[in-house]
Structure 1
Amino acid sequence: MHDSGLIFSAITPIFFIILAGFIARRLGWLNEAADRSLMTVVVNLLYPAFIFSLVLGNEALRDPANIVLPPLIGLTTIIAGFGSIMWLARKLNIGDQRECRTFAFSTGIYNYGYFPIPIIALLFSRETTGVLLVYNVGVEIAMWSLGVGYILSANDPKPIWRRLLSAPVIAILIAVPLNWLKVDQHLPNFAFESINLLGQCAIPLALLIIGATFADLAKGVRMFNRLRIPVVAVLIRLGIFPALLILFAFLFPFPTELKAVMLVQAAMPCGVFPIVLARQFDGSPEVALKVVLATTVVSFATIPLWITFGMRLLGL
């Protein structure tokens, strides 16, 4: 049984790396011109390498239940979140139609990648981290199809299928069958070492860029104006939804790895990417920023509480 101290030690480096990115931007060490190229490298090279390093040779992903169920649950949780939060946003008069849509989209997407990966890697097993990556395929589908395609009223001319087929999703679609066929047993050691070294760079670099993005967007934003937006987001994302998802994991006989993934995802704050999407599409960047910053800061205290409670309830 892991205690709350170990869980706290798992999340602390995440926040320190984000803070380092924030400071690096403010000091001018990491300029905005570098963001696009660095993030392109993360998304198209480092993160796919990270996926291959965790999927190839992963025994848990040779269990059909861990291939089919995780993306279905990821898809279902995001769709349910979008629908319920949109209804609540209108009932609580969060703002105009554009602000309600942005609130529903931002609050409905939990941080499914760069936050939970290091936490799961420390608290659980390599196999569980691989299941998380498959789970995230369902999240990606829900985010781009329903989230961007309908809630944010996308003005991107690219068809939805092209948005769905990002480099990480393609990497998972390739790596899972290769793992099933045990291709990893025939690859030389230097290939695994190269993939592992590239993959280890993905999360720290992405967190640095997230911190730099916070530094940019926080300028001129009045966080304490219209407090209803961040307060309601915190109550939903870090209060109601974790309880519901953990209860869901408790009631059904899911594989152990999937229960662990659901628990960690339940405790996560809102994802950072919705801020970028709100700027790119027809959303409210200020609403998205308030939602993301508030839930991220408060989650530093709530993540250990939810994970400690959930591990005891689920017997992890």
Structure 2
Amino acid sequence: MFYTLFINIGSLFLMMLPGYILIRKNILSTSALKDFSHVIVKVLYPCLIFSSMTRNYTIEGVLESWQLPVAAFIILFVGYIIGLTYNGFFGSTNVESKKSMLFQFTINNYSFLPLAIIAKLYDESHMAALILSTLGSEITVWTLGMAILNTKGKRFDIKSLKHLWSPPLVSIYFSLGILLGMHALGTSLNQIVNQHVTFKYINQTIYELGEACIPLSLIMIGGRMGKINFADLKSKNLWIVTLFRLIIVPLAAVLVIKLIFPNHPYQNVMLIVCVMPCAVASLVLGEIYGGDQKLLSGTVLITHIVALITIPAWLMFLISK
């Protein structure tokens, strides 16, 4: 089973390779990569969210699945508690390094990489479950995550919560509004789409745009990793974060999730999120709010490389078909 999982996960990492090569060969510029990210975050990912949510959920189903965003929050909060404990006993005296380590202990790659893995292993309903769970993750990032980075430099204030109105989250809110409206009308979006040709083709266009999200996101992640300097991999703190992010934090999070949600139908989705590497978004957030850039970039690179082994190893023991 490990070999099968390794091949599945490895094929996803291969999809990152074009982005990595294009950046390293200077074929794709940093500014183009940023534009690329905007297209994914502001167009493709919202389309995927809307398509998955409206095709797989009713408003009753969403309310019954409240455990998913709660589980996402719990997973990140477990990392936060472990990070606080580590910093309390062994943390660096350097403020930027200390908060950067805590952020990497807390926030993992909770969306694009697990979405690609789930698309490989399960059906669209599991993808929709992950997307719903990201509501809890996003709220955690823009509250607890920003509080971690709020020590010096650009200050976090209430205006920073505008990120809770980012295009992906707005797409979740809009999808929930559509589902609520369909419930009030006593119908479903699928019924309306099937009855009107115009709506049918609009819905199909949204679906096809969403389908492009996963491969292009992986190329974008590869491009981001291509900007990282391998010389940044010498720090002891980097390897400490890697150990905790890929082994210790997942172990604790898995135990908590299995304890709190022992029989949840989408427990496998929660467990996959538990074992993810550091978030690529930490590079951007670290630049904005201040952080140890060598530590952030190094941990993103090395945890993704090592995760090629740890993710299939974890999943071999955790998931059931």
| Residue in 2 that maps onto 1:16 | 14
C-alpha separation in 1, matches of 2:98 and 2:205: 45
Q: For residues 303 and 60 of structure 1, what CA distance do their matches in structure 2 show?
A: 32
2:204 maps to amino acid = E
Distance 1:84 1:253 in 2: 21
Is 1:279 aligned with 2:287? Answer: yes
The equivalent position to 1:76 in structure 2, one of 74, 77, 99, is: 74
1:176 is displaced (CA, Å) by 2.9
Q: For residues 252-288 of structure 1, what are the alpha-carbon distances to aligned partners after superposition, in whole Å with 9 as ceiling and x for unaligned?
A: 4456443011111112111111111111112111111
State the Cα distance separating 1:84 from its structure 2 match: 2.3
Correspondence list, 1:56-75, <5 A: 56-59=54-57, 62-64=60-62, 66-75=64-73
* TM value normalised by structure 1: 0.89
1:296 maps onto 2:307 in alignment: no
Residue equivalent to 1:46: 44
> Displacement of 1:120 after TM fit?
0.7
Instruction: Give the Å deviation of 1:129.
Output: 0.9
Counterpart CA distance in 2 for 1:30 and 1:158 is 36
**Equivalent AA in structure 2 for residue 194 of structure 1:** T
CA 1:142–1:59 in structure 2 vs 1: closer, same or farther (change >3 Å)? closer
Superposition deviation, residue 125 in structure 1: 1.9
SS in 1 for 2:290: coil
The alpha-carbon distance between structure 1 residues 253 and 77, as it changes in their structure 2 partners (threshold 3 A), is closer
1:110 equivalent among 108, 126, 150? 108
Aligned length: 308
Q: Does 1:222 align with 2:237?
A: no
Please say if residues 105 and 152 of structure 1, whose CA atoms lie closer than 8 Å, have aligned partners that are also in contact.
no
Q: Which residue of 1 aligns with 2:318?
A: 310
| Unmatched segments (≥5 aa) in structure 2 | 183-187, 194-198
Between the two proteins, what is the percent identity of the paired residues?
A: 25
- What CA distance in whole angstroms lies between the structure 1 residues aligned with 2:244 and 2:94? 19
Structure 1 CA distance for aligned equivalents of residues 305 and 92 of structure 2: 21
SS in 2 for 1:223: helix
Whole-Å separation in 2 of the counterparts to 1:285 and 1:230? 11
CA separation in 2, counterparts of 1:210 and 1:114?
9
Shift of residue 113 of structure 1? 1.1
Q: Which residue of 1 aligns with 2:196?
A: none
One-letter amino acid of the structure 2 residue matched with residue 25 of structure 1: I
User: CA shift at 1:237, angstroms?
Assistant: 1.3
Secondary structure of 1:16 counterpart: helix
Query: Which whole-Å deviations, capped at 9, do the CAs of 1:39-81 have from their partners, x for residues lacking one?
Result: 1111111110011121112048742555311112212222332
Q: Quick one: distance in 1 between partners of 2:265 and 2:58? A: 8
The equivalent of 1:31 in structure 2 is 29
- 1:90-137 deviation digits (Å, cap 9, x = unpaired): 422345122110111023111111110011112122111111111111
Q: Residue 210 of structure 1 aligns with which residue? A: 221
Provide, for residues 159-190 of structure 1, a one-character-per-residue CA deviation record: whole Å limited to 9, x for no partner. 13312111001101111342453223212331
Per the TM alignment, residue 308 of structure 1 is displaced from its structure 2 partner at its CA by 1.1
1:61–1:266 Cα change, 3 Å: farther
Q: Distance in 2 between matches of 1:239 and 1:159?
A: 35
TM norm structure 2: 0.88
Q: Distance in 2 between the 1:205 and 1:124 partners? A: 20
Matched, 1:146 2:144: yes
- Is residue 126 from structure 1 mapped to residue 134 from structure 2 by the alignment? no
| Counterparts of 2:58 and 2:251, CA distance in 1 | 26
Alignment correspondent of 1:241: 249
